[in-house]
Amino acid sequence: MKVASFYRFLNLSDPESFCDALRALCSEQQLLGTILVAGEGFNGTIAGSEAAIKTVIAWIEAKLALDVPIDGRWTESTDAPFRHMRVRIKKEIVTLGRPDILPHKQAGIHVAPDQWNALIEDPNVLVVDTRNHYEVEVGTFPRAIDPGTDNFQQFQEFAEELAEASRDRPLAMFCTGGIRCEKATALMLELGFKNVYHLQGGVLNYLAEMRPEDSCWDGECFVFDTRVAVDRDLAEGGYVQCHACRRPLSSDDIASSDYREGVSCPKCIDELDENRAAGLEERRRQVALAAACGERHIGPK
């Protein structure tokens, strides 16, 4: 199954009707995934046949009369990485909490993957990972600063503190597919940074374009679907996800005595109250019973 991630910041004058038509097309093409639509553009990851995905992308390009084709990040998945197809209206296609910041009006400079290594090796350049801390734990670039965020809305506080201390330093910013770092560059420019760069297409594009021997990436890359992470070849990686806290788990985490499949892991064992633990344990039991009967348990996520 093919998986494509794509986005575009632009002025979308009628997001509601665009959303309705796009939802119908994705259903017709039997796709799975999520596409977010807002006045600032669209952002999606969809899975299905290559032909179906290309049909949707071509429709978007024609519908919006795009001068520049959509450059999606393509990966593969053995199993369906999503359960449903959702096309939703949002205030922002990536939630920074600043719908007034418009990257299609002002953003940093794109850096192609083959130019990225030289940029981040410059000791004067601050390398900033705009992703959440649990994503950083799975993999990142050398010298990259971890903002320590649980979600992208928390990034502005980190950005304001960084501006107070290092406004005169050049910035090299990156994220999974390019959308968070692009919006982050617009914020950094607003905060007074002058030389702001971001990795074109994000880590997924970097891994697709760079030869393994030339890659500076360390670890795997977290993705927001059932694959949890992909490796340097963009194949499904070695992480699983804790059902309780949704954090990625390594083989060492799974080997821990604090790990119980479907119930807890070393990262959330101290956060889990008795009622929540009991509910997760019951769900684990129901899943096991369904599997023993050759069925799939259907219940809350």
Q: For the segment 136-147, what is each residue's pLDDT rounded down to a tens digit? A: 999 999 999 999
What's 223-280 look like in SS3? CCCCCCEECCCCCECCCEECCCCCCEECHHHHHCCCCECCCECCCCCCCCCHHHHHHH
Q: What is the pLDDT of residues 155-195, one digit of tens each?
A: 999 999 999 999 999 999 999 999 999 999 999 999 999 99
The C-alpha atoms of residue 140 and residue 70 are separated, in whole angstroms, by: 26
Is residue 195 within 8 A of residue 171, CB to CB? The reply is: yes
Domains and their CATH numbers in the chain: 2-89 (3.30.70.100), 109-210 (3.40.250.10), 248-292 (no CATH)
155-166 and 179-190 helices cross at what angle (nearest 10)? 50
Active site residue 175: yes
Instruction: For 111, list phi and psi in degrees, rounded to 5.
Output: -120, 125
What's residue 205's pLDDT?
Answer: 96
Provide the total of helices (H) and of strands (E) in the chain, helices listed first: 9, 15
Catalytic residue among 26, 175, 221, 242: 175
Cα separation of 211 and 189, whole Å? 32
In Å, how far from its chain's centre is CA 173? Answer: 14
In three-state secondary structure terms, 170 is coil
Q: What is the pTM of this model?
A: 0.85
Other beta carbons within 10 angstroms of residue 244's beta carbon come to 20
Could you tell me the two tokens for 79? 């199993």
Top-confidence residue, 288 or 252: 252
Task: Provide the mean pLDDT of the chain.
Answer: 92
Measured on CA atoms in the order 288, 250, 141, 207, is the torsion positive or negative?
negative
| pLDDT of 269 | 87
